[in-house]
Amino acid sequence: MELNENARVDTSQVDDRRGSGGGGGMGIPIPTGGGRGGIVGIIIAVLVALVGGGFGLNAATNGDDSAQGDNTSLEQKCSADDALKQLDCRNALYVNSIQAYWRTAMPEVFGEQYKPSKTVFFSQNVSTGCGAADSGVGPFYCPADDLVYIDLTFYRLLADQLGAEGEFAQPYVLAHEYGHHVQDLLGTEAQMRRQQQRDPQSANALSVKLELQADCYAGAWAKNATGTADEQGQKIFTSITDEDIQQAIDTAEKIGDDAIQQRSGRPVNPDEFTHGSSEQRKQWFTKGFSTGDPKACDTFGAGT
Ligand SMILES: [Zn+2]
């Protein structure tokens, strides 16, 4: 994967709240409370965020938008010549690419306008429309405030604990979360939540379909990523290789529910799956990538 050095990072698509939470920055390891719990926590908390309740706080914090970060230093950093050597600037640029893709694709494919959503960079803890969250939950999308949240130290955990080391794991993770934003805009997410309430027994199965669709959307973005450009029309990626795509597929496999259950020493139980098995996650990312068409991501119709 190569980024175009002439591409400009649009930091207005990011809300930098690091440092406001105290002491954070990029040097602090994620407080996962003992490894495995952290990984499982990612999966569970992301589900909770999606199916409504939030992280145990819910309605009380809804609409609390007071925690706007200060982007000044990020803006300066990411307009410097060596910006793309910085993890946070690169991630901001990935967000730019993903949103540039959906700005075009959503009207084309679904006949609806894309509404941009910011990604919040936080360290350690953050207050969200879905309640308070800490880094241990991993990256997530909150439908209540339409924001993607990530503590960038998550990538180290992904590499160290799951062995998903390739750089392309990063845009894959972000593209997956933006897939949830698209589902939110299209009403897929709300529809699934109503279905879950009507039929609690199939709640997990429905969650799997939603998650696999987000993987598939990430694949569709990956296929079209080299066509995305910054505001001045500069291409964002100069190249994405087969190896990069393989890294995304490997990551998808490593965070499959069966893989995670195995890693945590539990028996594999498909009834408890909320994100899909390794094989399913790989399959749906690949389907999105091979077709490059979000319409092909019909996990709800495919009887997965
Ligand atoms: Zn997800």
Q: For 179-228, how does the pLDDT look when each residue is reduced to its tens digit (9 = 90+)? A: 999 999 999 999 999 999 999 999 999 999 999 999 999 999 999 999 99
**In this structure, what DSSP letter does residue 129 have?**
T
Give strand ranges (E) for the chain: 2-3, 14-16, 119-121, 125-128, 131-134, 140-142, 147-150, 237-239
Q: What's the gap in Å between 138 CA and the centre of ligand 1?
A: 10
- Tens-place pLDDT, residues 117-134: 999 999 999 999 999 999
Output the pLDDT for position 163.
82
Q: What's the gap in Å between 45 CA and the centre of ligand 1?
A: 10
Show the tokens assigned to 88. 């946070």
Sign, CA dihedral 94-95-96-98, equals positive
pLDDT in tens, the chain (304 residues): 999 999 999 999 999 999 754 333 343 334 443 334 444 445 444 544 443 333 222 333 333 444 677 899 999 999 999 999 999 999 999 999 999 999 999 999 999 999 999 999 999 999 999 999 999 889 999 999 999 999 999 999 888 888 888 899 999 999 999 999 999 999 999 999 999 999 999 999 999 999 999 999 999 999 999 999 999 999 999 999 999 999 999 999 888 999 888 888 888 999 999 999 999 999 999 999 999 999 999 999 865 4
Q: What's the gap in Å between 181 CA and the centre of ligand 1?
A: 10
**What size, in residues, is the chain?**
304
Q: What's the gap in Å between 76 CA and the centre of ligand 1?
A: 31
Q: What's the gap in Å between 275 CA and the centre of ligand 1?
A: 7
Query: 206 with 278: CB under 8 angstroms?
Result: no
User: Cα–Cα distance between 304 and 298 in angstroms, integer?
Assistant: 10
Query: 169 with 243: CB under 8 angstroms?
Result: no
